[in-house]
């Protein structure tokens, strides 16, 4: 009988190890699937949509001719443009020297603003999905589902925080609330 107990214990140990390994692999696949679904249904802003690279072909000739003179007003306009987050696009005279500022292209700033909005929204999407997986893992009794959902949820919540690092206060508040809620639910479940 002692020999059978050892075999049963060894079989249970292997089953537990296999459950953990399979759970980890499936958790990684869940994380990947969520990332793909979010990027497919809510694609990130593309730089090319905001900044048409064809306008930069004439932004600055190479090399700048030696016989050009410094023009303070053009320099001041370019500095003002750059300080606002824009890229100065110059007009040139027949000698290839700066003749004026054609435009102040704000595409990079518009792209950055769109990226911040995207990061904020994707932060909430990942945080909600991650938290839902954590709650699922806390309240379901099947070990495999717990092994899949708890780490997958935690990784998605961490990923959410990393994606929206520009808005640190919102990340701190939401992440703090999620941690408090997760600890509360875990303590309630473990009683």
Average confidence (pLDDT) over 108-115: 88
For 63-95, the pLDDT digits (tens) are: 556 778 888 888 899 899 888 888 888 888 888
For 175-188, the pLDDT digits (tens) are: 899 889 889 888 88
Q: What pTM, to 2 d.p., does this model score?
A: 0.71
119, 88 in Cβ contact below 8 A?
Answer: no
19, 144 in Cβ contact below 8 A?
Answer: yes
pLDDT band at 53 (very low <50, low <70, confident <90, very high): low
For 128-177, the pLDDT digits (tens) are: 999 999 999 988 989 999 999 999 999 999 998 888 877 888 888 988 99
Question: What residues have CB less than 8 Å from 155, skipping those under 6 apart?
Answer: 27, 31, 130
């Amino acid at each position: 009988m002692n020999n059978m107990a050892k075999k049963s214990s060894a079989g249970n140990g292997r089953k537990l190890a296999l459950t953990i390994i399979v759970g980890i692999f499936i958790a990684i696949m869940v994380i990947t699937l969520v990332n793909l679904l979010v990027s497919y249904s809510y694609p990130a802003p593309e730089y090319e949509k905001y900044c048409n690279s064809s306008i930069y072909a004439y932004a600055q000739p190479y090399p700048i001719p030696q016989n050009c003179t410094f023009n303070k007003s053009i320099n001041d306009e370019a500095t003002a443009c750059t300080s606002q987050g824009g890229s100065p696009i110059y007009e040139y005279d027949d000698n290839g020297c700066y003749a004026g500022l054609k435009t102040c292209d704000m595409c990079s700033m518009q792209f950055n603003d769109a990226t911040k909005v995207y990061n904020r929204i994707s932060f909430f999407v990942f945080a909600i999905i991650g938290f839902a997986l954590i709650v699922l893992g806390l309240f379901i009794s099947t070990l495999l589902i717990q092994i899949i959902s708890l780490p997958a949820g935690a990784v998605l919540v961490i990923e959410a925080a990393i994606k929206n690092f520009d808005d640190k206060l919102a990340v701190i508040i939401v992440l703090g609330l999620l941690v408090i809620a997760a600890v509360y639910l875990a303590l309630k479940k473990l009683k």
